[in-house]
Amino acid sequence: MSLQWNSPAVQIVFALLLVILPLSITEIPVTWKCLLWVVAWGMLIHLGLTFVPGVGKLPIVVKTSLAVGLSAFLVAGVYSPVFTMWREEKAAALTGELEAPPSNAIFADSDVKLQIGAASNGSIFTWTGGNGPIFNIVGDKLSIHREHGKLLLSVDVREYGSGAVVVSITDNKWRVSSAQNVSWDHNYTRNAFEVKDGRGRVVLQVVLMPETVRFQGEWWHEDGKGGRILRRYPYDAVRTGPMFVIMSSTNHPDEPGIEPIFKYPSKEHWGEFVDWFRP
């Protein structure tokens, strides 16, 4: 006995496979899973519509459109795990690119401003050194420059103790270490980015705006020397300016530390800021 594709039994089995397989294959991106589910449920609904009085005689294009619409609504409304998987997939990304919010302002390439701290009212500095590094801390450079009006940031941050690279940014393109003992977690949006090292401490925080790069960071070298640049906000209402903490192998205070602007763990709070922070 040969099976025909237009056989309802064959179509039902194929549709059910499209429903089940995306759940069992974790490598399939969530967007593709959603697409497969829309196709699967569209097929099942299309078959079901043929038995509905008055609907079964509608043109095939009308029935197909109705089936796809109902399927998409079903996937969006019923598959609540889809959003969870999508959020976890985004949170687990080890590469990405920072992009400033759109602006109508036109900036000259010589107009380079940086700000210590993530909030909008921090101290702003103007950099007139061209494309050279703004500073060099324990061997790692931080560079900010404009190219065709767009602010570009480059920086490396290394782990305390081993000197392993926790995160590297080159012209706004970031890459985080895949080793959890080096990079415990990170969180980000289109224009904000934050990384915690293996100790769970924030070691880099960047908010990219059209006019400024806001940042805080902690840098270490293999010899145990380090430096931390931060602004104690919002918890210190008196010392509101930037701070530069020099650390040695024998003197490396944990406080003041960089306050997170994101909620964690990122797989549950991807892209969510803490309550006090507004970019």
Tell me whether the omega of the peptide bond preceding residue 256 falls within 30 degrees of 0, making it cis. Answer: yes
Full residue range of the structural domain in which residue 122 is found: 95-269
In a domain, 208, yes or no: yes
Residue 1's pLDDT is 45
Residue 2 forms part of a structural domain: no
The per-residue pLDDT for 235 is 52
Q: Which residues of the chain have pLDDT under 70?
A: 1-8, 23-24, 26-27, 30, 53-58, 63, 74-82, 136-139, 233-240
**pLDDT tens-digit map of 162-176:** 888 999 999 999 999
CA angle 211, 212, 218 (to 5 degrees): 170
Q: 131 and 196: one domain?
A: yes
Is the same domain home to 126 and 67? no
pLDDT digits (tens, 9 = 90+) for 107-153: 999 999 999 888 887 778 888 877 777 776 666 788 999 999 999 99
Q: How many domains does the chain have?
A: 2
My answer on whether 114 and 33 are in the same domain is no
DSSP string, 164-201: -EEEEEETTEEEE-S-TTTEEEEEE-SSEEEEEETTS-
Same domain flag for 132 and 67: no
- Check whether residue 123 and residue 110 sit in a common domain: yes
pLDDT at 153: 93
State the Rg of the chain over Cα. Answer: 26
State the pLDDT at residue 240.
Answer: 63
Q: Would you state the pLDDT for residue 139?
A: 63
- Same domain? 127 vs 188: yes
Evaluate whether 148 touches 109 at the Cβ level (below 8 Å): yes
